[in-house]
Structure 1
């Protein structure tokens, strides 16, 4: 079920809904991904053009603000939608079992709720794995996939299930989980981690909004799930990316948290995948090198 809300004020009676100002000046849609959780998205309708879906990263303080330069650039030329994933941004933040399977199913439900042709999708970082999972496991229909600085292409695998389960048990203790997140959500901490994703200094407006997201009720639940490393998939090329059959593009450079050692392997064995280095950048080129990012995207879509 989809509903449209005002872009100026979020009106929702869900007990899990945050009271966060919009990251993007646009209409806000809402879709139920299950009986308890509403996910919200920014939308710009356009009578022509293939829909474009934007999906932010997963960390301690993400939101569609990360994708705002892409939204602003392509609005007016095609329908554009930027989803806030469950647990983040202006979407509900239930205390639930956040997992790779949960996010894959949520993305499938959110994108499938949209009208129009199968969209082009742009996903940032770990969310690239979730979109691939939505395609492989849930039959998500899309026209193409762009993965910006995606995880799962490095030599190192994430820790195993045992590590994740032990971390979940520790973080599930209210005092411990709250204490850890209270440190992560401080402005110096948010600034520190965002600065790592930029060659220069992270923009103040990006830091400001990230800090605001961490102050919302229940903000810690999805963020702590990320810290357990259980959201990352082992052997992501074999299990996920290699099974995606639509045209796909990797935008990358030097990400301090992500390796790309296996990217040549993906490109060699799966001809639907291509890659473009956007340099110098460290994970969020749409903010740091917007024109180069737009050019890479337009070249990729123009060749389809």
Structure 2
């Protein structure tokens, strides 16, 4: 896979170069755009719709070459006005700053904890894919995160790379250094329309959502858009054994929504659901983005889950 990406990077120096767009990025969802300052990083963007009653709901997207809060737009639209609603954009993505700095799981977890602190109240969190690992990490250190709903979460398959965490982390660091050497042309390939359409198609059972496709193209062409994805591609944003480090220590109610996924596996999900307070609901006919293809089923599962959370 890496060899193919590096070959593509060489090609990207020519035909596959894509322009960087410096105009403001349009909003991903229909909410007020707000920012918080994360010390040592910069501004982190989030959307807010404080209407409604009950415990605030925080939505967090996945991480990929073109991630943004648009990935959570179906859920945003479904819950807007019914309860206070917020959508965080991880550092390096969407409306957040995109500096050339190290991107780590702890940085992402800090951003979510900072948003919870900004809100100053208990929250429920819905996280997508790798965002689930960051959300779990944040929940382990912040008791105000009262529940987690994880959509197609990473980290429930077999441990990544090696059972020795230092070995896996060193391997990711070495790969990151290699990718940094070809970062701009490599990312130039990843953000082309054919590349984005291909990777999105693997997360849809049916046609790719056109709005998500177009927004992915837009957000991936902003200045600095390559820095966080290069950390993702190298593996630096993954926890080598997320189940042991992040999921099994959780003591808050957890709902896992899943079916098939081209990028993650769920071998340890049966073990996870044996923990008190952990439930799993399969959303058949989906490939990792059930909120786009099976929104009624996803909403039904979520609405049944939250009344059980203290």
Task: Determine if the TM-score, normalized by the shorter chain, exceeds 0.5.
Answer: yes
The alpha carbon displacement at 1:66 in A equals 0.4
The equivalent residue for 1:154 is 157
Among candidates 79, 83, 86, match of residue 78 of structure 1: 83
Alpha carbons 1:18, 1:92 under 8 Å: kept:
no
CA distance in 1, matches of 2:39, 2:144: 20
CA distance in 2, matches of 1:140, 1:35: 24
The alpha carbon displacement at 1:156 in A equals 4.5
The alpha carbon displacement at 1:36 in A equals 4.5
The equivalent residue for 1:240 is 246
The equivalent residue for 1:288 is 293
Alignment of 1:130-149 (within 5 A): 130-136=134-140, 138-149=141-152
Change in CA separation of 1:36 and 1:100 when aligned onto 2, cut-off 3 Å: closer
The equivalent residue for 1:193 is 199
Which string of whole-angstrom CA distances, capped at 9 and with x for unpartnered residues, describes residues 162-220 of structure 1? 221111111222xx111110000001100100010010111111000001011100000
Alpha carbons 2:201, 2:207 under 8 Å: kept:
yes
CA distance in 2, matches of 1:158, 1:150: 18
Runs of 4+ in 1 over 3 A off after TM superposition: none
CA distance in 2, matches of 1:244, 1:218: 34
Which string of whole-angstrom CA distances, capped at 9 and with x for unpartnered residues, describes residues 29-62 of structure 1? 1111125411111111125211000000001101
Alignment of 1:218-297 (within 5 A): 218-268=224-274, 270-297=275-302
Aligned length: 283
The alpha carbon displacement at 1:286 in A equals 0.5
**Is 1:205 aligned to 2:211, yes or no?**
yes
Alpha carbons 2:49, 2:86 under 8 Å: kept:
yes
Alpha carbons 2:160, 2:240 under 8 Å: kept:
yes
**Is 1:166 aligned to 2:169, yes or no?**
no
Alpha carbons 2:62, 2:68 under 8 Å: kept:
yes
CA distance in 1, matches of 2:127, 2:69: 11
TM-score (norm 2): 0.88
CA distance in 2, matches of 1:140, 1:172: 37
CA RMSD between the two structures:
1.5
TM-score (norm 1): 0.90
The equivalent residue for 1:55 is 60
Which string of whole-angstrom CA distances, capped at 9 and with x for unpartnered residues, describes residues 100-147 of structure 1? 1211122211222114x31110000011111111122x3352121001
Higher relative contact order (CA 8 A, sep 6+): 2
Alpha carbons 1:99, 1:230 under 8 Å: kept:
yes
Unaligned runs of 5+ in 1: 1-16
- Give 3-state SS (helix, strand or coil) of 2:145's partner: coil
CA distance in 1, matches of 2:107, 2:45: 16
**Is 1:38 aligned to 2:43, yes or no?**
yes
The equivalent residue for 1:8 is none
